[in-house]
Chains A and B, each alone.
Chain A
Amino acid sequence: DAGVTQSPTHLIKTRGQQVTLRCSPKSGHDTVSWYQQALGQGPQFIFQYYEEEERQRGNFPDRFSGHQFPNYSSELNVNALLLGDSALYLCASSFGLAGGNKNIQYFGAGTRLSVL
């Protein structure tokens, strides 16, 4: 049983470009959450998708957008990249909405994005 898989593992972009990161949830999970983890910091919640809709959003500008597909996989898109967007982007999946309840989140290994 595959866990949460993310692609690509590493990515280098330049300022102003756009990027798309991909996530396949753990088998049986229907909810995907995205986090940004800067070096030496804890993960920061970006948004959560359930039933192909954004259900909850953290304090991130609308340059960050996402999508969930009928097979529950998800994409994170970031437009007009800034140097400060350099980070590890983590995807987590759960069965049902996560946060404040016992729906356990399983994390992927992340995509390391470097913006030059």
Chain B
Amino acid sequence: AAGVIQSPRHLIKEKRETATLKCYPIPRHDTVYWYQQGPGQDPQFLISFYEKMQSDKGSIPDRFSAQQFSDYHSELNMSSLELGDSALYFCASSFGGNYGYTFGSGTRLTVV
């Protein structure tokens, strides 16, 4: 079965650089969620989209922005990167915003 695809899997950036993370939801899923997981931490909700509109916003820094495109894939744009942004970033998708959504394998971002 198709899963949530995230790219890239690993990303190394320098401080103050910009990064773009991509998420391709399961086919026919129209809801996307982004989470950030620091080392040894639980995942923290960043932002979500339903039918290409932002549906909820969590602890996402102003330096980050995200959008969902017409094909339902989503991109998380991160600017002025800081060392503290180093983390695993997970995307999850669901149909109709229903519970029990599926997570991707994540993008490991390292800021040096």
Q: Do A and B bind each other?
A: no
Q: Which residues of B approach A to under 8 Å, CB–CB?
A: none
Which chain A residues have a beta carbon within 8 Å of chain B's beta carbons? none
